[in-house]
Amino acid sequence: QRLVIEKFPTRSVGQGESLPKVCAVIPARNEAELLPTTLRSLLAQDYPGCLTVIVVDDQSTDQTATIAQALAQESKQSSQRFQLEVLSGQELPPGWTGKLWALEQGIRYGQQQTPAPDYFLFTDADIEHDPANLRQLLTKAEIEHLDLVSLMVLLRCQDFWERLLIPAFVFFFQKLYPFAWVNNPTKSTAAAAGGCILIRHQALNRIGGIEVVRQALIDDCALAQAVKSSNQSRSSSGSLSGLGGIWLGLSQSTRSLRPYPSLASIWNMIARTAFTQLEYSPWLLVGTVMAMTLIYLVAPIGLILSVLTGHWLNAIASFVTWLLMALGYLPTLRLYQCSPLLGFCLPGIGLLYTLMTIDSAWRHWQGRGGAWKGRVYSVEG
C-alpha cells in the first residue's frame, strides 16, 4: 500500500506576492489538559503572514476557558505576532452538532475582521502543530490552486492498545477513502481529516458555509464532499476554469496528543460513527461484516484448519494470503514506528473493528449513537 505522505512544494507561499490572511478556529470542550501545548504550537507557526487564532469554548465543565484566556493574555504581553481570541460558546441550538456549532461561531467572528480572512484553518484542540505546518498547507493550496487541504495527523501511538489498534484506524480509513481518489478531481470520492483542515473562505461561502453539514457526525468528510461536489458541478457546467480541488495526506510531524490508553476508549471512538459511515443501513452492515470476514479472517482460519486436516497445499495458500495481508499493512506500521510483526495481527484487529462496527449499529438502534463528551446526538436513518 502506497501512503500519501505530505509532500509540499519547495517554493514558499508569498514570495513576490501578498500573503493570505488566515483565521484558525479551534472548538474546545473539556480540553484543559492539552490546550497549553496545542495552542502554543499554533502561536509558534513560522508563517510570515497574518494569523488570528480563535478558541471557542464549547460550554466546558473544566478549566478550558480559564486556561485559554490565560494563554490569550500571555500572548498579548509577549512579543507574539499572532492574535489569540477566546469566545464563550452559546447554547447548542437544535439541528447542530456541538463541534460544528462551535466552528460556526468562530467563523462568524472571523468574518467580521477587516480585511476578511482568505482562509480558515479548522483544527482540533488536541493537535500539536509542527512550526511549518500552516506555511506548508498554504503553499500547497496556493500553488496547486486547491480549495481544501487536509492532513490526517499522526495519532498518539504509545500504549499497548494504541499500538495494536491506532495504525489500523488509519489503514482502514484509507481503504474506505483511497487518498489517490480523494485527490483526483475527476473522481467523486471525497474525504478530509477534521483535526487539520485548511479551506478557502470563498469555497466555504460557495457551499453555503459550515451550516450545510451542521448535523453531520462525520463532518470532515461531509465538508470535503460539499467542496468537491461544488467544484465538479461548476466544472461540468463550464462556468469556471482552473477550479480548486481538494487534497488529503498523512502527516509525519503534526500530531494528536489525545490518548487512547484502553480498549474501551478506542472502542468508543470507533463505535461513535462507524454505523454513520454505513449510512445507517442494515444491508451495508451485513455486507461489511461479510467483507471483513472474507478479507481478514478466512486466511488464518483456513491455515489452521488445513494444518489440522493435513491439506498442505491449502495451508501454503492460506499462509501466503496472510503474509500478503501483513505486507500490505507494513507501510502504515512503519509510519507509526511499530513492529512489522503486528502485520500478522491484522486478522484479530479486523475482528475487533468488525465488532466495534456492530456495536455502533446496536447503539444507534438503542438511541445512543453519536454520544460524545456528554452529548448524545439524535440522527435519522
Residue 126 belongs to a domain with what CATH number? 3.90.550.10
CA–CA gap between residue 219 and residue 241 (Å, rounded): 28
The answer as to whether 372 is a domain residue is no
pLDDT value at 100 more than 70 = yes
Domain check: are 91 and 154 in the same one?
A: yes
The answer on pLDDT for 3 being more than 90 is no
pLDDT computed for residue 16 by the predictor: 39
158 burial level (CB within 10 Å; 0-12, 13-18, 19+):
exposed
- Nearest Cα neighbor of 170 from 266, 288, 38 is 266
DSSP 96: -
For 52, other C-beta atoms within 10 Å of its C-beta total 19
C-alpha cell at 95: 439541528
Distance CA 181, CA 242 (A): 19
Distance CA 240, CA 235 (A): 6
Among 261, 296, 320, identify where a domain stops: 261
> Range with the lowest mean pLDDT among 19-28, 221-230, 233-242, 358-367?
233-242
346 with 214, same domain: the answer is no
Instruction: Based on the fold, state whether residues 166 and 283 are members of the same structural domain.
Output: no
Provide the 10 A C-beta neighbour count for residue 18: 8
Q: How many helices (H) and strands (E) does the chain have?
A: 14, 8
31 and 178 housed in the same domain:
yes
- Domain membership of residue 49 (yes or no) is yes
How does pLDDT run across 269-291, given as a tens digit for each residue?
999 989 988 989 999 999 999 99
Give domain status of residue 8, yes or no: no
Beta pairing partners, 51? 22
Domain extent, residue 331, equals: 274-365
Same domain, 235 and 286: no
pTM: 0.90
Q: What is the DSSP string of 215-234?
A: T-SSHHHHHHHHHHHHHHHH
Considering the domain architecture, whether residues 165 and 108 belong to the same structural domain is answered as yes
**Residue 380's beta-bridge partner residues?**
none
Cell triple for 180:
489517490
> Is 305:315 a contact under the CB 8 Å cutoff?
no
Environment class of 242 (CB within 10 Å of its CB; exposed 0-12, middle 13-18, buried 19+): exposed
Instruction: Tell me: do 128 and 164 sit in the same domain.
Output: yes
Q: Is residue 267 part of a domain?
A: no
Is residue 145 domain-resident? yes
The model's pLDDT over 191-201, given as tens digits with 9 standing for 90+, comes to 999 999 999 99
198 falls within a domain: yes
User: When comparing pLDDT for 270 and 13, which is higher?
Assistant: 270
Last residue of a domain, one of 261, 295, 326: 261
Task: Give 241-270 pLDDT, tens digit per residue.
Answer: 446 799 999 999 999 999 999 999 999 999
Is residue 268 situated within a structural domain? no
Q: Which of 114-118, 335-339, 345-349 has the lowest mean pLDDT?
A: 114-118
Percent of the chain with pLDDT over 70: 89
Nearest to 270 by CA among 196, 171, 158, 159: 171
Q: How do residues 102-126 score in pLDDT, each as one tens digit? A: 999 999 999 999 899 999 999 999 9
Structural domains in the chain (count): 2
Same domain membership, residue 279 and residue 255:
no
Among 73-77, 89-93, 354-358, name the one with the lowest average pLDDT: 73-77
Q: CA 196, CA 152: separation in Å to the nearest integer?
A: 7
Q: What confidence score (pLDDT) does residue 219 get?
A: 92
- Judged against a pLDDT cut of 50, whether residue 46 lies above it is answered with yes
Residues 88 and 34 in one domain: yes
The percentage of residues in the chain with a pLDDT greater than 90, rounded to a whole number, is 79
Confidence of residue 232 (pLDDT cuts 50, 70, 90): confident
What does the pLDDT average to over 310-317? Answer: 96
Residue 96 in domain: yes
Regarding whether 255 and 279 lie in a shared domain, the answer is: no
Mean pLDDT rounded to a whole number for the chain: 90
Q: Assess whether pLDDT exceeds 70 at residue 149.
A: yes
User: What does the block give as the cell for 201?
Assistant: 473562505
| Rounded Cα–Cα distance for residues 138 and 153 (Å) | 16
Query: Are residues 185 and 136 located together in one domain of the fold?
Result: yes
C-alpha span between 184 and 189 (Å, rounded): 8
Beta strands in the chain (DSSP E): 22-28, 51-57, 83-88, 119-123, 127-128, 146-154, 196-200, 245-256
**CA distances for 253 relative to 156, 170, 347, angstroms:** 12, 16, 29
- Where a domain ends, among 261, 285, 317? 261
Question: Given this model, what pLDDT does residue 40 score?
Answer: 95
Measure the CA–CA gap between 349 and 359, rounded to whole angstroms.
Answer: 15
Do residues 87 and 233 share a domain?
yes
d(CA 74, CA 212): 36
